[in-house]
Amino acid sequence: MDSFIVAALVLCSLTATACGDKGASKARSCSDIRHFYTGKGFAVNGIPQSEISGEHLRICPQGYTCCTSDMEDSLAVLSRGEMEGLLKDAGRSLQVSLGGQYKAFDGEFLNQ
């Protein structure tokens, strides 16, 4: 399973109504997940009004949930982009740090 998809859907599992409770007998409202999902810049259409069966999902629990396959895919793409951006930023910081250490070492070496 793609680690970026897992990272994206951790957000889904942390939201109380996003991935549901397998033991829930009543369908709950999906208003919280609708708010979360639109806050990430996605359109509200396609988000269920109340929990649905999640047996078709790959990552979220397969009980009653507000997540759909399309939502899983969209969050996976978002997560991949965010993760790549963070890794690039961390790589640049590391490169700057190592470059500074190299110059300091090189300067000391030349002085001796």
Which structural domain, as residue segments, surrounds residue 76? 3-84
Q: Does the pLDDT at position 79 exceed 70?
A: yes
Could you give the number of structural domains in the chain? 1
Q: Note whether residue 16 is domain-resident.
A: yes
At residue 68 the predicted structure's pLDDT band, cuts being 50, 70 and 90, is very high
Does residue 107 fall inside a structural domain?
Answer: no
Partners of residue 29 on adjacent β-strands: 50
- Report the distance separating Cα 2 and Cα 99, nearest Å: 33
Q: Is residue 48 part of a domain?
A: yes
Q: Identify which has the larger pLDDT, 41 or 5.
A: 41
pLDDT above 90: residue 93: yes
State yes or no: pLDDT of 90 exceeds 60: yes
- Domain presence at residue 94: no
Residue 93 domain flag = no
Structure-block tokens of residue 108 = 């000391």
**Residue 17 confidence class, pLDDT cut points 50, 70, 90:** very low
Give the number of other CB atoms < 10 A from CB of residue 1. Answer: 7
Closest CA to 55 of 1, 28, 31, 19: 19
Is 105 inside a domain boundary?
no
